[in-house]
Amino acid sequence: MDASLTPSPEWIDRLIDLGVTAGKNILLAALIFVVGRFLVKLLNALFARMMARSSVDAEVQTFLRSLVNILLTVLLVISVIGALGIETTSFAALLASAGVAVGMALSGQLQNFAGGIIILLLKPYKVGDFVEVQDTAGTVREIQIFHTVLLAYDNRMIYIPNATMSSSVIVNRTQQATRRLEWNVGVSYGEDMDKVRATVLALLAEDSRVLADPAPQVLVDKMGESSVDLCIRAWCATDDYWAVNYDVNRLIYDRFNQAGIEFPFPQTTVHMAK
């Protein structure tokens, strides 16, 4: 064998040193990662417990917990990179130089972050509110740094970007303590309107969930093709809205039948030519 191709003892010793150093760095980085993940989870749990004991609003708590989790994860990644022997200062400089490009690529997420700040400051909704936005409806579960999490009627979790939530029309169904209910009922032509009105007001008065102030209303809305259409309005506590809505619907049907008030149905009169 050519002597020039034979590795010198110095090169072998250097390779061994590099291998040993790299092995130590990898083991140290792995140890830091494992311990760091445990510490991140522990600190997140402690921070969440501290937030729960404070008087901070629930939506602010979820936002801060999400932000702290991301910051701790970034610190862990930097620590692991430093343990591998990579200069964190040069890595930070590289990260800063790449930040502009990444920021442009993630401009939508930056808008979502800004939208989350706007939501927390203006408070158009809070955790527990039932909201509607862009044909989507649900109960607000969390306000994260990039998304608002809604729980739909059918138990679906819906994640809506905060930029959308902060710039769209939001209907908050539960922000106020009371809500107005409205029923549209048709009765046949020829029915005594005073009797119909008294029947409706009586059944509403029997339900303690229906508020006396503002007083319920029974109004003639319009004259339909085959019915006199009534508009019935009443107020109740927001938490009772759906229960009262369905219960009164059933009561109207039962009481009208008991009182002999006829519900109309479309009819067609056919004249046979002789």
For position 211, which CATH number holds? 3.30.70.100
Inter-helix orientation angle 88-105/58-83, to 10°? 130
Q: Is residue 100 part of a domain?
A: no
Of the two residues 144 and 195, the one the predictor is more confident about is 195
pTM over 0.85: no
Q: Is residue 274 part of a domain?
A: no
Q: Is the pLDDT confidence value at 172 over 80?
A: yes
What type of residue is 91? F
Tokens coding 222 = 């319009």
> What's the number of domains the chain is made of?
3
Tokens coding 28 = 């140290």
Q: Residue 100's pLDDT is what? A: 53
Give the mean pLDDT of 171-181: 92
For position 36, which CATH number holds? 1.10.287
For position 143, which CATH number holds? 2.30.30.60
In three-state secondary structure terms, 147 is: strand
Q: Is the pLDDT confidence value at 181 over 90?
A: yes
Q: Are residues 186 and 159 in the same domain?
A: no
Q: Give the domain range for residue 164.
A: 114-172
